């Protein structure tokens, strides 16, 4: 089983739509969780950390379910500028972050 | 906003040559990393570095690779004898602690011909 697994997509959605991405991780001892965003041929950029209680940052909401080892990201009111690859990232205590393969989002006008 | 700086942005080298990729992490960060991303593939961990020594390395980080922090600001990745399959984007990252996210540099695109 992959350490961090994501649906590669692509998710093609119209502007204004709500879209949700899911991610599962294999190591139950994982301690920290993040969503990163990566534009084509650019570096990953931290979008938000993910906390057990769930957290929101503007149009973005992240949820963590430790029992199911599942992380989600919800984007409301999608903008064209949200088009990117979204990376689920887990710190499994190995002193380094482990990246999923990413889910590609394309927001269409 | 503080940033991680990488140079060069693009390097082309012949197979068998040595390359050194350079990074300047954020000044008050204590943990440093190298990752790579082959075109179309996921971001892969190479090595982490703390207190002037390697904390952890992946199976990719074999004897061909080495890292150094020569002067307290630069953090370098050396590939001794490059292979075609070393062609990738190499990202440097740094963090203030072990639980927060990392800040990544804009990467060095290495092309081995």
Tens of pLDDT, residues B20-39: 999 999 999 999 999 999 99
* Three-state secondary structure of B37-92: ECCCCCCEEEEEEECCEEEEECCCCCCCEEEECCCCCCEEEEECCCCHHHCEEEEE
What is the model's pLDDT at position A17?
Answer: 98
DSSP A101: -
Whether A37 contacts A47, CB under 8 Å: yes
Per-residue pLDDT, A93: 66
User: Which has the closest alpha carbon to B9: B113, B106, B112?
Assistant: B106
Give the C-alpha separation, A54 to B19, whole Å. 44
| Residue among B41, B42, B56 whose CB faces A96 most closely | B56
Q: What is the pLDDT of residue A54?
A: 87
Residue-level pLDDT at B1: 79
CA A43 to chain centroid:
15
Q: Closest residue of B to A97, CA-based?
A: B45
Size of interface A-B (CB pairs under 8 A): 54
d(CA B91, CA B108) in angstroms, rounded, equals: 7
> Does A7 score more than 80 pLDDT?
yes
With CB atoms and an 8 Å threshold, state whether B99 touches A34: no
Q: Is the pLDDT of residue B12 over 70?
A: yes
Q: Is B91 within 8 Å of A91 when comparing Cβ atoms?
A: no
Within 8 A of B90 by CB-CB distance, chain A residues are none
Partners of residue A60 on adjacent β-strands: A57, A75
What is the predicted pLDDT for the residue at A107?
Answer: 98
Closest CA to A66 of A16, A104, A29: A29
A19 vs A41, residue with greater confidence: A19
pLDDT score of A94 more than 70: no
Distance between CA A82 and CA A15 in Å, rounded?
A: 9
Does residue A40 belong to the interface with chain B, where contact is any CB pair within 8 Å?
Answer: no
Dump pLDDT digits (tens) for B46-55.
999 999 999 9
Is the confidence at residue A109, as pLDDT, over 90? yes
Interchain proximity A99–B43, CB inside 8 Å: yes
Q: Which residue has the tokens 């993910």?
A: A50
pLDDT digits (tens, 9 = 90+) for B70-102: 888 899 999 999 999 999 999 999 999 888 889
pLDDT tier at A16, thresholds 50, 70, 90: very high
d(CA B89, CA B40): 11
pLDDT recorded at residue B109: 98
Instruction: Choose from B23, B30, B31, B43 for mutation: most chain A CBs within 10 A.
Output: B43
Indicate whether A95 pLDDT > 80.
no
| pLDDT at B17 exceeding the cut of 70 | yes
Rounded to an integer, what distance in angstroms lies between the CA atom of residue B41 and that of residue B54? 25
> Which of A96, A98, A101, A103 has the highest number of chain B CBs within 10 A, making it the mutation to test binding with B?
A96
Chosen for mutation from A29, A40, A44, A94 (greatest number of chain B CBs closer than 10 Å) is A44
Only one residue has tokens 């292979």, namely B83
- Three-state SS for A81? helix
- Do B46 and B97 touch, CB atoms closer than 8 A? no
Residue A66, SS3 per DSSP: coil
CB–CB contact B42 A100 (8 Å): yes
């Amino acid at each position: 089983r992959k350490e961090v697994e994501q649906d590669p997509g692509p998710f093609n959605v119209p502007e204004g739509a709500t879209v949700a991405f899911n991610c599962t991780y294999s190591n139950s001892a994982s301690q920290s969780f993040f969503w990163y965003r990566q534009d084509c041929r650019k570096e990953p950029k931290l979008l938000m950390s993910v906390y057990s209680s769930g957290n929101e940052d503007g149009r973005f909401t992240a949820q963590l379910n430790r029992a199911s080892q599942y992380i989600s990201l919800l984007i409301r009111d999608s903008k064209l500028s949200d088009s990117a690859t979204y990376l689920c990232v887990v710190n499994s205590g190995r002193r380094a972050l482990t990246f999923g393969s990413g889910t590609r989002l394309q927001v269409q006008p | 906003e503080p940033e991680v700086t990488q140079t060069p942005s693009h390097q082309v080298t012949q197979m068998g040559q040595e390359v050194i990729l350079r990074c300047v992490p954020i000044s008050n960060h204590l943990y440093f990393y190298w990752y790579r991303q082959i075109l179309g593939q996921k971001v892969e961990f190479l090595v982490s570095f703390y207190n002037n020594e390697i904390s952890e390395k992946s199976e990719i980080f074999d004897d061909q690779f080495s890292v150094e922090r020569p002067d307290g600001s630069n953090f370098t990745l050396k590939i001794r004898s490059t292979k075609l399959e070393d062609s990738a984007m190499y990202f440097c990252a740094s963090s203030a602690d072990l639980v927060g996210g990392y800040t990544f540099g804009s990467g060095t695109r290495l092309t081995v011909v």
